Amino acid sequence: MATLSNREIADTFETVADMLQIKGEIIHRVLSYRRAGEAIRELPRDLHMIASEGKLTEIPGIGDTLAAKITEMLETGKLEFYERLTKEIPPGLVAIMRINGVGPKKAKLFWEQLNITTIQELEAAAREGKLRDLAGMGAKSELKVIEGIEALSRQTGRFSLGIALPAAQKILDQLLTVPGAIEGAIAGSIRRGKPTIGDVDLLVASDDATPIMDKFVHMENVARILGHGPTKSSVELLNGLQVDVRVLEKARWGTALNYFTGSQAHNIHMRELALEKGYSLNEHAFSPVDKDKNIIEDAPKILCATEEEVYATVGLPWIPPEIREDSGEIEAAKAGTLPNLIVIGDMQADLHMHTTWSDGVLSVREMAEAAKRRGRKYIVITDHSRSLGIANGLTIERLLEQQKEVRMVDAMMAPDFRVFHGTEMDINADGGLDFPDEILAQLDFVIASLHVSLRQERPQIMQRLLTAISNPHVDMIGHPRAQYIPDREPVDADMDAVFEAAKKHGTVLEINANPRRLDLEAQYVRRAIELGIPLSINTDAHAEDHMDLMPYGILTARRGWAEAKNIINTWSVERFVEWTTSRGK
């Protein structure tokens, strides 16, 4: 039977939303499909499982109608409603809407007036000058379409947080050198710690926007100016990254930072709360409204210089940016049950790293000292195992040889700092583990990870993962979904079953802090915590500077509502030793 993944169903709903919008459906119906698509995309559980429990309508944004459509897709592999729509609206128009500056109205215009249904046809028409005479179009709009198509072909999709965050900081630092710039912040999805970034949102407080905007659009790495207004400008950088800058007065910093941090869903919820309190909220201020929700012009507005004031005005405590997704954080804030999210200072240890014994660039001693400089109290050396030839994986003989060196370094650095010996053992393609139990029993901490044959079918992947999770010597699964951002999709794993097994065997699941991984992702972190599964945040460092990637792991954990108590490497070394010992080492 045809089976669809959460992602394919989310894609279908979002495509349906676009098609309905081209049709001119009322926007709220369109948004329902779009919101449902987003909700499904972020779901930590398989829709099959939720459907079999009859709980589809418990997903926020899914009612009876959409639940029935999900069920239809799960059972038949397709959606009749979508099939019908494709006969009415050419699917190519959905792709045309991805061009910057082209929305549903223009897509429909090009289609109805010129019978254009693909990006290729649109580009040809634009180059022949056929678009400029259409109603509402002109020579400039025609040029924008061409530029938009060129930009689209350059685009490599979303950027990883590890690329976007440093780039954003660099630009912000430049803008803050402009005289009159008082304060700056990175807002948007970077501030919320999302693993992939669509565009960069920067905020600068100043009484004079002009010089800041000028500096911004004339930076040397700007490929194209997308907009240049008095308070807001946008550019596309040479690497394709889009950056937006807003300049505002310091007195409105709180509302602005809150608004531009998002998420959009969180903002909408905040504005609804504001209306309940008798105010219209925007990025500038709270404005008193009458009972028809019209702004009372001469009534004094409330300006907020800090985010704390914004939340206080709607009767809430400040909510950390990482959980502003309208996924329960506002309800938790109301109830006084916001989590006490983990911070970098809670981290006592790094349990996953590599040395020159396999594919790292520093010795055991050098890694230990690098970790100590960063305030860690203990580490585990976990080089690759024998089957991973490309990474110079350790044979049993070399592993035991390495253990002597680790013990020596540990003796040198103790008691202030401890170095333990472990492995990052491959879970082989045939489902076997790369070291026998009697060898694993001699190690302090055992990670098992998937590195090869990642495109296997779900039954093979699950057999491998469950073998590793249930082995009594395996303490942790490294980067459990084996994704690589943005190029490689995660393995096809049944995460419900992974969680069930991890819970049963007390096996730790890793939050790999490398920004190319960030695996587990936040929605799975949150689910694992709900189920009481121990987690760990590690850098997987292959060099000294990789140890500085820990904050990315912290961001991901915070997005998953993690507190220090959920993360085992916040433990003292004594507790860690006690725990590994209790696991039969």
Partner DNA sequence: GCCGTTTTCGGCCCGACTGTTTTCAGTCG
Contacts 24+ apart (CB under 8 A), 273-278: 273/314, 273/315, 273/316, 273/330, 274/313, 274/314, 277/313, 277/314, 277/315
Contact flag: residue 329 with DNA (CB under 7 A): no
Among 4, 40, 47, 107, binds DNA (CB under 7 A): 107
Residue 113 identity (one-letter amino acid): Q
Contact flag: residue 271 with DNA (CB under 7 A): yes
As beta bridge partners, residue 519 has 512
| Residue with smaller CB distance to DNA, 64 or 430 | 64
Among 3, 5, 29, 414, binds DNA (CB under 7 A): 29
Of 62-70, 83-91, 352-360, 432-440, the window that binds DNA (rule: CB under 7 A) is 62-70
Of 272-280, 305-313, 347-355, 529-537, the window that binds DNA (rule: CB under 7 A) is 272-280
Contact flag: residue 192 with DNA (CB under 7 A): no
* Separation between Cα atoms, residue 464 and residue 433, nearest integer Å: 8
Site for DNA (CB under 7 A): how many residues?
Answer: 65
Among 1, 2, 28, 416, binds DNA (CB under 7 A): 28
Neighbours of 498 (CB within 10 A): 24
In whole angstroms, the minimum distance from the beta carbon of 116 to DNA comes to 13
Of 281-289, 406-414, 484-492, 559-567, the window that binds DNA (rule: CB under 7 A) is 281-289
Among 15, 206, 242, 556, binds DNA (CB under 7 A): 242
Contact flag: residue 507 with DNA (CB under 7 A): no
Q: Are the beta carbons of 458 and 492 closer than 8 angstroms?
A: yes
Q: Are the beta carbons of 244 and 283 closer than 8 angstroms?
A: no
In whole angstroms, the minimum distance from the beta carbon of 339 to DNA comes to 22
Contact flag: residue 139 with DNA (CB under 7 A): yes
Contact flag: residue 1 with DNA (CB under 7 A): no
Among 527, 510, 521, residue whose Cα is nearest residue 469: 510
Give Dmax over CA atoms of the chain in angstroms: 81
Contact flag: residue 41 with DNA (CB under 7 A): no
In whole angstroms, the minimum distance from the beta carbon of 244 to DNA comes to 6
| Residue with smaller CB distance to DNA, 202 or 529 | 202
Which letter does DSSP use for residue 424 in this model? E
Give the angle subtended at the CA of 212 by the CAs of 209 and 218, to the nearest 5°.
Answer: 135
Phi-psi category of 193—alpha, beta or left, where left has phi over 0 and alpha has psi -120 to 50? left
Among 100, 392, 403, 460, binds DNA (CB under 7 A): 100
In whole angstroms, the minimum distance from the beta carbon of 138 to DNA comes to 2
| Residue with smaller CB distance to DNA, 129 or 317 | 129
Among 101, 300, 345, 459, binds DNA (CB under 7 A): 101
Among 66, 342, 370, 549, binds DNA (CB under 7 A): 66
Tell me whether strands 232-237 and 242-248 are parallel, antiparallel or unpaired.
antiparallel
Contact flag: residue 166 with DNA (CB under 7 A): no
CA 443 to chain centre: 34
Q: Are the beta carbons of 53 and 59 closer than 8 angstroms?
A: no
| Residue with smaller CB distance to DNA, 134 or 176 | 134
Residues 6+ apart with CB under 8 A from 564: 340, 342, 343, 346, 570
Contact flag: residue 313 with DNA (CB under 7 A): no
Of 114-122, 135-143, 344-352, 456-464, the window that binds DNA (rule: CB under 7 A) is 135-143
Of 45-53, 56-64, 87-95, 554-562, the window that binds DNA (rule: CB under 7 A) is 56-64
Residue tagged 């990883």 (tokens) = 160
Among 77, 129, 138, 300, binds DNA (CB under 7 A): 138
Computed over its alpha carbons, how large is the radius of gyration of the chain?
26
Percentages helix, strand, coil for the chain (3-state, rounded to 5) are 50, 15, 35
* Separation between Cα atoms, residue 213 and residue 216, nearest integer Å: 5
Residues forming contacts to DNA in the complex (CB under 7 A) are 26, 28-29, 31-33, 36, 57, 60-67, 97, 99-107, 132, 135-142, 144, 188, 198-199, 201, 227-233, 242, 244, 264, 267-268, 271-272, 274-276, 280-284, 287, 293, 295
